[in-house]
Amino acid sequence: MYFCGSFYSTIIMNILLLGSGGREHAMAWKIAQSPKLSKLYIAPGNPGTAQIGTNLPIAADNFDALKDAVLKNNINLVVVGPEDPLVKGVVNFFAEDASLKNIPVIGPDKMGAQLEGSKDFSKQFMFRHNIPTAGYLSVTASNIDEGIVFLRNLKAPYVLKADGLAAGKGVLILNDLDESISELNAMLGGKFGAASKTVVIEEFLSGIECSVFVMTDGKNYKILPEAKDYKRIGEGDKGLNTGGMGAVSPVPFADASFMRKVEERIIKPTVDGLYSDGIRYKGFIFFGLIKVNGEPYTIEYNARMGDPETEVVMLRLKSDFIDLLEGVAEGNLNDKIIEFDERVAVTVMLVSGGYPETFEKGKIITGLNAVEDSFVFHAGTTQKDGEILTNGGRVMAISSYGKSKDDALSISFANAQKIKYEKKYFRTDIGFDL
Ligand code: AMP
Ligand code: GLY
């Protein structure tokens, strides 16, 4: 739909956002602030996104059903939240369909999504384009002996990664050589199914991590606010890995000089490398970085935004999000303006007791109306008979602004206390190391 105003022309659009987590609720919240939005649909969404737009009961990887919904609802732009539909080729599906090919999808095609979908692909890419990263060897059943020699020549700890997507569980960091060799055998023998038919063995890097995000139209890029997430379940960043227990933005150690190195050595070579490799990448790139003796190294790429990082990045993005998304779609991202909110943003994730191992669902959530000065982004929730129930490990992200990290955290923690459900758990030390 095009409406021309008397002076400026504004494109008003219907947007379909794919996904159902806290990341998508935060994106929906930001999209809905734009005067360029006509209608927002989310597939499948969650009870939080239902307050902002219209949820469609369609799985994000049910491409045929998405096609029907896009055509029926006159969707002008599709934004992909999670990696799964990207790795499965949702962008290719649209490009190859006569009735969908003119509807832009924000996200890389199947090949570009391999940056996340295959650790071996991403390591080869980084080495080909001289992007700083840990040394590695890719091992399959056919060169397992070489893999063992490679492990023996490394110093502990040993890093073993399943090549493919393994629901965030495919990375092992082990101190013992013999255990690493037996885990290598187990992984190649199918410990993570097809995802570990190839295993990437990496040199261990010691440093402090942060997440950097860009939007790219395939040639140009804009750097979004950086964030640090807290991946472990326990205080002090101890215990099992989770999807992420909280996040802070900005990251003090990602100062201007560090970010200049990140841009020159990592971001620009990545965007240029994708282009020169013939990959037309229009979407988000998530750089998982580590600062080692002041220098940035790439630990991993993701083909999407981070979760829970998005729950702080969206707060710090001052510019119109749809305007930037349009720049990605149209290839004129360089003409767009990106501005950040100067305040600190934090998020604290409320999870189900037991997560990331077994946990119960269906607990009634109360106290949401008592929340003050925070944004509650739903992740694993569902709605039944007018009540909001827990429906996943990560339940909701409580995001707040502050003049300082501590100001913002005290607001999020106060609200985290007010929200109640059986076996609620959250970390009270988010940002402790900054
Ligand atoms: P990835 O899925 O590749 O991001 O790995 C998961 C986590 O394992 C990272 O966030 C790091 O904390 C850790 N990790 C991965 N690779 C390395 C490495 N080469 N050296 C040290 N830590 C690593
Ligand atoms: N928070 C890390 C991730 O989204 O992968």
- Least distant ligand from the CA of 242: 2
Which residue, judged by its Cα, is nearest atom 2 of ligand 2?
306
Task: Say whether pLDDT at 239 is over 60.
Answer: yes
Report the pLDDT value the prediction gives residue 6, as an integer from 0 to 100.
37
Q: How far apart are CA 20 and CA 346, in angstroms?
A: 21
From 173, 199, 230, 232, the mutation candidate for ligand 1 (largest count of ligand atoms within 8 A of CB) is: 173
Ligand 1 centroid to Cα of residue 299, in Å, is 6
More confident residue, 327 or 2: 327
Task: Say whether pLDDT at 2 is over 50.
Answer: no
Could you tell me how many residues make up the chain? 434
Angle ∠(269,173,81) on CA atoms, nearest 5: 50
Model's pTM, two decimal places? 0.95
Structure tokens of 150? 């490679």
Which residue, judged by its Cα, is nearest atom 5 of ligand 2?
306
H/E/C letters for each residue in 200-256? EEECCCCCEEEEEEEEECCCCEEECCCEEECCEEECCCEEEECCCCEEEECCCCCCH
Query: For 45-56, how does the pLDDT look when each residue is reduced to its tens digit (9 = 90+)?
Result: 999 999 999 999
Q: How far apart are CA 434 and CA 430, in angstroms?
A: 9
Percent of the chain clearing pLDDT 70 (strictly above): 98
Ligand 2 centroid to Cα of residue 229, in Å, is 8
Which residue, judged by its Cα, is nearest atom 3 of ligand 2?
306
Overall average pLDDT of the 317-340 stretch: 97
Show the domains of the chain with their CATH numbers: 2-108 (3.40.50.20), 135-202 (3.30.1490.20)
Instruction: Give the burial class of 101: count Cβ atoms within 10 A of its Cβ; 0-12 exposed, 13-18 middle, 19 or more buried.
Output: exposed
Overall average pLDDT of the 384-401 stretch: 97
Ligand 2 centroid to Cα of residue 319, in Å, is 23
Contact 341, 250 (CB under 8 A): no
Overall average pLDDT of the 374-378 stretch: 98
Task: Say whether pLDDT at 348 is over 80.
Answer: yes
Percent of the chain clearing pLDDT 90 (strictly above): 94
Task: Say whether pLDDT at 9 is over 90.
Answer: no
Report the pLDDT value the prediction gives residue 7, as an integer from 0 to 100.
41
- Least distant ligand from the CA of 290: 1
Which atom of ligand 2 approaches the CA of 307 most closely?
A: 4
State the DSSP string of 14-72: EEEEEE-SHHHHHHHHHHTT-TTEEEEEEEE--TTGGGTSEE----TT-HHHHHHHHHH
Query: For 155-189, how does the pLDDT look when each residue is reduced to its tens digit (9 = 90+)?
Result: 999 999 999 998 778 999 999 999 999 999 999 99
Report the pLDDT value the prediction gives residue 10, as an integer from 0 to 100.
54
Query: For 261-319, how does the pLDDT look when each residue is reduced to its tens digit (9 = 90+)?
Result: 999 999 999 999 999 999 999 999 999 999 999 999 999 999 999 999 999 999 999 99
